[in-house]
Amino acid sequence: MLNFLNFSLKFIIIFIAVVVFFIFSTLWYFSIGLPDYKKLSNYQPPISSRVYSEDSKLIAEYALEKRLFIPFESIPEKVINSFLSAEDKNFFSHPGIDARGILRAVINNLKNIAQNKRLEGASTITQQVAKNFLLTNEVSMKRKIKEAILAFRIERAYTKERILELYLNQIYLGQGTYGIAAASLEYFDKSIKDLNYPEAALLAALPKAPSKYNPYRYPDLAKFRRNLVLENLADNNFITENQLTSFKLLDLKLKRRKIEIINEANSYTEEVRRTVKNIYGFEKLYSQGLSISTPLNINYQIQALKSLRKGIEEYDQRRGWRGPIANKIQNKNWENKISKYKLDPTLKWRVVELISVNDQELLFKTIDKIEKKFEGTIYPKNIKWTLRQNKSLSDLYEVGDILFAKKEKNIWKIKQYPKVNGGIVVIDPYKGDVLALVGGFNFKTSEFNRVTQAKRQPGSAFKPIVYAAALENGFAPNTIILDAPFVESQGFGLKNWKPENYGKKFYGPTTFRKGIEYSRNLMTVRIAKILGLDKILKLSKELNIYEDIPELLSVSLGAAETTLLNLTSAYAPFVNGGKKINPKLISRIQDRRGKTIFLDKKRKCVGCDKFIDNEDELPIIESTNKEIISKETAYQMTSILRGTVERGTAKKLKSLKVPLAGKTGTTNDNYDAWFIGFSSNLVIGVYIGYDNPKSLGKNETGSKAALPIFKDFVENALFKEDFKDFNIPKNIYLTLLNYDTGLKSAPGEKNSIIEALKIQDINNINNKNLISILGSDKMIMFRQFY
């Protein structure tokens, strides 16, 4: 008997040793190559980056996953209790794995194996953290063992609160949402602090099978699963039996989250996205939760898009009606033709089919995929632009024709998708803030940005740069320039270059001012020749108009290529006193914790470091931008370009009766049309042209194609009180001159204008270029003749 007991004791000891050895060997084997759990200490969940307008409205969001991070201390008890009841009620008491849960899973899985069903798990929240962060979703014993080992290690390294924080911010809850904060907004449009128990229970019901229990698709299944969680809450004494009874009777109350993103700002935000991605990289933009502030003015942006589209449509209508998209009766592939057009929802166009045609009206029905379907009528008086050469409705339209139509002021009109395109940009000339930017007619069809990416010849819109360089080097607004034929040799074996004025006329001796107001090519070339091309190229480089400039005289007529953004920015010094600006679409970037990682600083505060004893010592904000031209030259150019509005190629703006200045631009054969204009606080640039360059057509100049877009924006986006007179520098002398001769004029004399001259030139009376001193009251006329 004693021997038997000794044998049994030895057997038990050996058995225990073998089991212990087996367990430790297994743990050692599976511990090899396990992921490092310590990286969880620095884990930052990927969250979306957001872009905001100047008034802090959300205008764009960039993310790979819908996720918002929320720290443990901000998570309500209702949410914590619901998830613990649904997923791991012993979470705060177990060491990482739940022995009872494992035993239950083993018994159930023996049945599942016999019935060829999917194995179920007994994972604790800690194990799910190990799986979600460090392992794969593979269903196998090998992964479960690794999961358990990691769970033990995680429990030793981190607090329960940290583990739960990681879990609740990482878990997938359907509808593309990750984490409880994003899911609460997706399903209830609420912050998690505002959730009640039935809502929190629904969220806790989702991790088991987010697609199966999706409340939008399968509300009955979702409600069933929610009620199971509510029962668990009652079993764990988090809610009473009375509450359980009333909660289970409640229907699901869902409310989809609506993010009001300004679709009109797509061109702007895409440029911001490209910039941030190029600087900080894809991962930081899409997963590090950047907060990007921009100077975008939403009202300006919306109106800029409207004005550009209106101008493009008006141009396209002048080119005539090109016919319907297709005919449903005659063309079997009509749906394919429609699918080629990806319309931006902000257009508000409908796809319609004509169901009746006569010379008095067109009856149609909507056939697009927009839910609300209806019929309507289009009358001839509202589509006159399609009825050319005495054509009637029945000549041009047939039953079955498929068209675009839009209701404007309660009137249905036919729309034609334009082939031409363009851009518009609005800039603060003092700070360089890009307040609005539209890169094309329809962003959904083409993301190509014609403000920042399209390089085109600016034509006459470049001339103010030539004239500014001349004013900086001794020319004056009343300098006489010869408008006559000009011939320039281009080298051996090449034809001589013979530029011409628009209209091919010559005007003889003409004042400097008049040359730019009427955009005289021959005067501009002659000024460039006398001045020296090097001075013009130097100024254009300093203003960032061009990168590589050919040293050709034709550059003075805008023959080199640039972007609308660069050229518009180059006009800012005329407004701000001669200082260069760098256009900016981003004001500030902050990381997920609110730390500023980028801040645009172009101004300094003089006196901010002192104590203020009286109002005379208040700090002054000064721009740190470099002065490119003098204040006096800047004002002279402003004065001359105001003359373009008063008398010259931009006189269509005169009817607005507000202080405006600007310059039209048209390239050879009317390939491109430009208008750059400004007030005392805004610079606005407009470009119109084809993406594959070709002529816009006869008479389609900057004045006809581009300027009306500028005018429409000014009329609808600005108020009279937004306009102030341009600042006049101290060293500018205003005097009365004859507009045609540049000579002194008497008050009331016909053809007189107020001219701006530089006072410092009074001291240069002996300059060889000065011809005469007129008057006895120090009114000095500088008249150079070239």
Can you tell me the distance from the alpha carbon of 680 to that of 430, in angstroms, rounded to the nearest whole number?
10
Are the C-beta atoms of 158 and 40 separated by less than 8 Å? yes
Taking the CA atoms of the chain, what radius of gyration do you get in angstroms?
37
| Burial annotation 400-424 (CB, 10 A radius, 16+ → b, else e) | bbbbbbeeeeeebbbbbbbebbbbb
Instruction: Classify burial at 501, counting beta carbons within 10 Å of its beta carbon; exposed 0-12, middle 13-18, buried 19 or more.
Output: middle
Residue with tokens 């505002």: 194
pLDDT (0 to 100) of residue 746: 86
pLDDT (0 to 100) of residue 768: 37
Average pLDDT over residues 598-613: 70
For residue 513, which amino acid is it? R
Structure tokens, 90: 């012993």
pLDDT (0 to 100) of residue 764: 42
Q: What percent of the chain is predicted at pLDDT more than 70?
A: 83
Band of residue 69 on the pLDDT scale cut at 50, 70, 90: confident
Q: Which of 764, 730, 736, 734 is nearest to 748 (CA)?
A: 736
Structure tokens, 114: 């016999």
Can you tell me the distance from the alpha carbon of 127 to that of 229, in angstroms, rounded to the nearest whole number?
20
Report, as residue numbers or ranges, the catalytic residues. Answer: 87, 460
pLDDT (0 to 100) of residue 549: 84
pLDDT (0 to 100) of residue 773: 32
Band of residue 779 on the pLDDT scale cut at 50, 70, 90: very low
**Tell me: the pLDDT tens digits for 644-660?**
999 999 999 999 999 99
pLDDT (0 to 100) of residue 163: 86
Give the neighbor-by-neighbor strand order of the sheet with 421-427: 434-438, 421-427, 683-689, 672-678, 661-666
- Among the residue ranges 47-56, 67-76, 468-477, 673-682, the one predicted with the least confidence is 67-76
Q: What is the 3-state secondary structure (H, E, C) of 542-600?
A: HCCCCCCCCCCHHHHHCCCCECHHHHHHHCHHHHHCCECCCCECCCEEECCCCCEEEEC
Can you tell me the distance from the alpha carbon of 300 to that of 321, in angstroms, rounded to the nearest whole number?
31
pLDDT (0 to 100) of residue 782: 45
Q: Which of 466, 616, 473 is nearest to 554 (CA)?
A: 466
pLDDT (0 to 100) of residue 88: 85
pLDDT (0 to 100) of residue 434: 98
pTM (predicted TM-score) = 0.83
For residue 619, which phi and psi values (nearest 5 degrees)? -60, 155
Can you tell me the distance from the alpha carbon of 380 to that of 391, in angstroms, rounded to the nearest whole number?
11
CA 172 to chain centroid, in Å, comes to 30
Q: Helix 141-157 and helix 2-31: axis angle, to 10°?
A: 80
**How many other C-beta atoms are found inside a 10 Å radius of the C-beta of residue 584?**
17
Comparing 605 with 455, the larger pLDDT belongs to 455
**How many other C-beta atoms are found inside a 10 Å radius of the C-beta of residue 178?**
24
- Virtual CA dihedral for 546, 551, 554, 559, nearest 10 degrees? -30
Band of residue 142 on the pLDDT scale cut at 50, 70, 90: low
Band of residue 3 on the pLDDT scale cut at 50, 70, 90: low
Can you tell me the distance from the alpha carbon of 756 to that of 635, in angstroms, rounded to the nearest whole number?
8
Comparing 688 with 600, the larger pLDDT belongs to 688
- Among the residue ranges 147-161, 359-373, 484-498, the one predicted with the least confidence is 147-161
pLDDT (0 to 100) of residue 747: 86
**Tell me: the pLDDT tens digits for 415-450?**
999 999 999 999 999 999 999 999 999 999 999 999
Average pLDDT over residues 491-510: 86
Can you tell me the distance from the alpha carbon of 752 to that of 737, in angstroms, rounded to the nearest whole number?
5
pLDDT (0 to 100) of residue 592: 83
Structure tokens, 284: 């930081």
The DSSP element (H or E) to which 525 belongs, if any, is helix 521-531
Question: CA distances (Å), 8 to each of 5, 260, 652, in order?
Answer: 5, 77, 112
Can you tell me the distance from the alpha carbon of 470 to that of 67, in angstroms, rounded to the nearest whole number?
58
pLDDT (0 to 100) of residue 765: 34
Residue 126 has pLDDT above 90, yes or no: no
pLDDT (0 to 100) of residue 324: 95
pLDDT (0 to 100) of residue 432: 96
Residue 451 has pLDDT above 60, yes or no: yes
Q: Which of 338, 307, 349, 344 is nearest to 442 (CA)?
A: 344
Strands 66-67 and 177-178: parallel
Structure tokens, 233: 């809450």
Band of residue 627 on the pLDDT scale cut at 50, 70, 90: very high
**How many other C-beta atoms are found inside a 10 Å radius of the C-beta of residue 560?**
21
pLDDT (0 to 100) of residue 547: 81
Q: What average pLDDT is seen over the chain?
A: 86
Q: What is the 3-state secondary structure (H, E, C) of 334-379?
A: HHHHHHCCCCCHHHCCEEEEEEEECCCCEEEEECCCCCCCCEEEEC
Band of residue 110 on the pLDDT scale cut at 50, 70, 90: low
Instruction: Say which DSSP state 705 is in.
Output: I
Residue 257 has pLDDT above 90, yes or no: no
Residue 397 has pLDDT above 90, yes or no: yes
Band of residue 147 on the pLDDT scale cut at 50, 70, 90: low
CA 230 to chain centroid, in Å, comes to 45
**Tell me: the pLDDT tens digits for 517-571?**
999 999 999 999 999 999 999 999 999 999 888 888 999 999 999 999 999 999 9
Residue 241 has pLDDT above 50, yes or no: yes
Structure tokens, 116: 């060829």
Q: What percent of the chain is predicted at pLDDT more than 90?
A: 63
Average pLDDT over residues 672-680: 97
Are the C-beta atoms of 485 and 443 separated by less than 8 Å? no
Residue 21 has pLDDT above 90, yes or no: no
Question: CA distances (Å), 745 to each of 143, 465, 517, 636, 684, in order?
Answer: 96, 29, 20, 19, 34
Strands 326-327 and 596-599: unpaired
pLDDT (0 to 100) of residue 157: 76
For the chain, counts of helices (H) and of strands (E): 23, 24
Structure tokens, 615: 């109002």
